Structures are given as structure tokens and as C-alpha cells.
Amino acid sequence: MKRILSSEITSESNYRNRRQFIRDAGLAIGGGALASALPLVAAAEGRDLATVPGPHSTDETPNSWTDVTTYNNFYEFGTGKEDPYRNAGDFVTAPWSVKISGECDKPGTHALEDIMAPHTLEDRVYRHRCVEAWSMVVPWVGFPLGDLLKRFAPNSNAKFVRFKTLYDPKQMPGQRRAILDWPYVEGLTIAEAMHPLTLMVVGVFGKELPNQNGAPLRLVVPWKYGFKGIKSIVEIEFTRRQPRTSWELSAPHEYGFYANVNPEVDHPRWSQARERRIGAGLFASKQPTLMFNGYADEVAELYAGLDLRKNY
């Protein structure tokens, strides 16, 4: 599996008991929500949304707000881990719309508010682990991507889902450099996209998603390496063929389409057998990386018969 320097994991405290999934029901919001309303909703309901885990959440202690919001990969704002925090402050995320196209019966362009409209305010926080060369636990605010995609009625030809980030070099200084072939593109199989662990995210810790974390709408796929978590999404397309993704095009010998966390497959330049936990301290030792980032029981069936060494 190839590990990328693109999206990374957040840190808030340290890690607690290893991924115990709790609760199995409820339509939770977790990626792609009306972000500006979240703090007000939490106050009105007299609770901290960051303490209300949604379906498939882990009970591990989240990393800190500082770690989550200042240690990021978002190359549109720079290649350094602190660059997004430093450079994304003036990024304009409202109004925002998303174009839906391709192999579906209900294409169109929808405002973020319309995308969020069907979702309730209950059980919206998901705590998932994220992994690259380091790892964190983040209390994402969002909802299952599949709940959104079903609204556009993908047809039988929809085998994959392609996502695209906003292209705006005036606002995104990283796009003024040929780091990648902009705009950023990512993709999933339709089965991966419909899996309940796959989230559209619009917040963290019960608050509005900060610009540096991919506001106003980003993808989170917790069993994959972070670069699959495309940020600031403006287009979603249902396709017949597997899309060519940005890092796959940039370095195909290092980064494949699937990007599943697999400690048995090394990156050409480093081992992926162990990971460093953000927030664990300067001298903390690395820990073993788990297959599918510890979510094997939930997602392994998606890859039955697939050679995960060849299809990294």
C-alpha cells in the first residue's frame, strides 16, 4: 500500500482502547453538512456533539483540536504540515455548490445547503482513525456518503465514483506550483463509496470544518491512507471506468488507486509496517500498523479475490 503526503491524521489526546465499534443505527451526519450551524445546534441541544458517537465510531480518545487543525496535508495550500493552517485562513467557502454528473438519473448542481437538507441533527459525530506514516483519531462531523449518492439514482453503469477539488490558484497558493496536475482528483469503487464507513464530512469536534481540513465538504475513508480523503469537493461523477487519480498519475509506482492500509506492502521508500501516533510524545515508539487500519471486519469483503499487493 502506498502512503502519501496528502491528507493526514489529527491529534487530540492520545489513543485509548483500540477501535471498538459502537452503535449500529441512526442516520448520522458526518461529511458535507451545514457547517456554520453546528456550534449553535450543540448549544441549543445542551450537549457537546463531539461526545455523541455515530454509527461505526471507535471509542478511542480523539486527538486534540490543535493537532487536528494544524498538522495537515492539503497541498493546495502548501506541502508543509503547517502550511494549510497558515495559508487557508482567507479561503472563501460560501456560497458552495457541488456538480453531480455521469451515470445517474438525477444529475445537477446543488448548493451545500441542499445537499445537507435531508439529514437530521442526531448522532452526527464519527470518530475514526486516519493513517499515513502517522495516525490520529478524529471526531468527524458528517454523514455516510452512500446516503447522498443514492439521492442521485446511480444506474447500473456506475462502477466508480470520481471526485474533484476546487481549482482556484488565486485562493489556493499550492495550485500555482506544478506539484500535481491540478485540480486534485480522487475516486472509489461504487461499493466503497456506498459503504457506511465512508463519510462526507463538514465538521470536527461538533464545530465547523476549518478551511485547512477541507472545508466545506471533504471525503473520509478510514480504512485507506489519507490521500484518498479529497478536500473542498466541487464535483462528483459516476463513471463506468476506474478514474485516474492525482497521486496515481503523479507517481504510479508509489501510489495506486485503492490505497488500502496494508502493513504487508511497503512503500518503495519506506516500510509501512509501523505507524507513529500524533500526540503520543516525541520519544514514543511506533506501533504496528493494522490491516485496513483496523477495520478489516467491516471492509475486507469488499476486496474478496483481489490481489492487494498488486492492487495497492
Domain ranges of the chain: 35-303
Q: 218: which DSSP letter?
A: E
Average pLDDT, integer, range 218-233: 95
What was the pLDDT predicted at 128? 65
Q: In terms of Cα–Cα distance, which of 155, 139, 145 is closest to 53?
A: 139
What was the pLDDT predicted at 84? 98
Q: What is the chain's Cα-based Rg?
A: 18
Nearest-angstrom CA–CA distance, 123 and 247: 34
Query: Is residue 120 over pLDDT 80?
Result: no
Architecture of domain 35-303: Alpha-Beta Complex (3.90)
Nearest-angstrom CA–CA distance, 185 and 196: 22
Task: Write out pLDDT tens, residues 265-282.
Answer: 998 998 989 988 888 877
Neighbouring CB atoms inside 10 A of 228's CB total 27
- How confident is residue 16, by pLDDT bands cut at 50, 70 and 90? very low
Highest mean pLDDT, choosing among 50-59, 117-126, 212-221? 212-221
Average pLDDT, integer, range 168-180: 97
* Ranges 8-22, 53-67, 130-144, 267-281: which has the least confidence: 8-22
What was the pLDDT predicted at 37? 31
Q: Determine the length of the chain.
A: 312
Neighbouring CB atoms inside 10 A of 265's CB total 18
What was the pLDDT predicted at 17? 27
For the chain, give the percent of residues with pLDDT over 90: 60
What was the pLDDT predicted at 60? 77
The beta strand positions in the chain, using DSSP E, are 97-102, 108-111, 125-131, 134-144, 160-165, 185-189, 199-204, 207-208, 218-220, 233-239, 274-277, 287-288
Task: Write out pLDDT tens, residues 193-205.
Answer: 999 999 999 888 8
Average pLDDT, integer, range 182-210: 93
User: Which residues partner with 130 through β-bridges?
Assistant: 136
Q: What is the 3-state secondary structure (H, E, C) of 116-169?
A: HCCCCCCCCEEEEEEECCEEEEEEEEEEEHHHHHHHHCECCCCCEEEEEECCCC
- How confident is residue 18, by pLDDT bands cut at 50, 70 and 90? very low
Inter-residue contact 60 to 15 (CB < 8 Å): yes
Average pLDDT, integer, range 4-24: 29
Nearest-angstrom CA–CA distance, 32 and 48: 19
- The one-letter amino acid code at 44 reads A
What was the pLDDT predicted at 85? 97
- How confident is residue 175, by pLDDT bands cut at 50, 70 and 90? very high
To 5 degrees, how large is the angle CA 40–CA 42–CA 48? Answer: 145
Inter-residue contact 32 to 201 (CB < 8 Å): yes
What was the pLDDT predicted at 92? 98
Nearest-angstrom CA–CA distance, 27 and 139: 16
What was the pLDDT predicted at 137? 86
Average pLDDT, integer, range 289-300: 93
Query: Is residue 77 over pLDDT 50?
Result: yes
Average pLDDT, integer, range 241-260: 96
Residue ranges of the alpha helices (H) in the chain? 38-44, 65-70, 83-87, 112-116, 145-149, 190-194, 246-250, 296-299
Q: Is the peptide bond before 263 cis (omega within 30 degrees of 0)?
A: no
What was the pLDDT predicted at 206? 81
- How confident is residue 29, by pLDDT bands cut at 50, 70 and 90? very low
Query: Which residue has better confidence, 76 or 144?
Result: 76
207-208/160-165 β-pairing: unpaired
Average pLDDT, integer, range 115-119: 73
Query: Is residue 68 over pLDDT 70?
Result: yes
Neighbouring CB atoms inside 10 A of 7's CB total 26
What value does the mean pLDDT of the chain take? 81
Query: Which residue has better confidence, 118 or 173?
Result: 173
